[in-house]
């Protein structure tokens, strides 16, 4: 059974609190919940680093992307400077996640 959103009334949820919620929901030890969470995070990182995307239905999709080179400005001097192209990580929230955040009903 998934954790009630009501336990997340605070403005943030840290890793320890997430592990405790997973352990409680799955009725497993905190150590096993921590191992499972760390494993999930590591596997997402590995996949995205290889260029794969990771789609978690109802939650969202993690993917790598490219940011093109562009011109910017030094905020202190106003002098133009070239910003190099870079790889980035993208996260696209799934519909169910967006609906939950916006308190929409199915």
pLDDT band per the 50, 70, 90 thresholds, residue 12? confident
* CATH of 53-106 among 1.10.10.10, 3.40.50.720, 4.10.520.10, 1.20.1250.20: 4.10.520.10
Distances from the Cα of 16 to the Cαs of 3, 22, 75, in angstroms? Answer: 15, 10, 38
Total Cβ atoms within 10 A of residue 33: 20
pLDDT at 104: 62
Cβ-contact 3, 33 below 8 angstroms: no
Please report, rounded to a whole number, the percentage of residues in the chain having pLDDT higher than 90.
83
Total Cβ atoms within 10 A of residue 27: 8
What is the Cα–Cα distance from 25 to 38, expressed in whole angstroms?
A: 17
> Pairing state of beta strands 86-93 and 80-83?
unpaired
pLDDT tens digits, 52-102: 999 999 999 999 999 999 999 999 999 999 999 999 999 999 999 999 999
């Amino acid at each position: 059974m998934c954790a009630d959103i009501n336990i997340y009334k605070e403005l943030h949820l840290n890793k320890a609190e997430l592990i405790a919620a997973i352990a409680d929901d799955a009725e497993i030890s905190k150590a096993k919940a921590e191992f499972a969470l760390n494993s999930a995070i590591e596997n997402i990182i590995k996949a995205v680093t290889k260029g794969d995307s990771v789609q978690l239905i109802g939650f969202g999709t993690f993917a790598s992307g490219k940011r093109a080179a562009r011109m910017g400005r030094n905020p202190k001097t106003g002098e133009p400077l070239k910003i190099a192209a870079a790889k980035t990580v993208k996260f696209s929230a799934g519909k169910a996640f967006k609906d939950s955040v916006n308190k929409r009903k199915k």
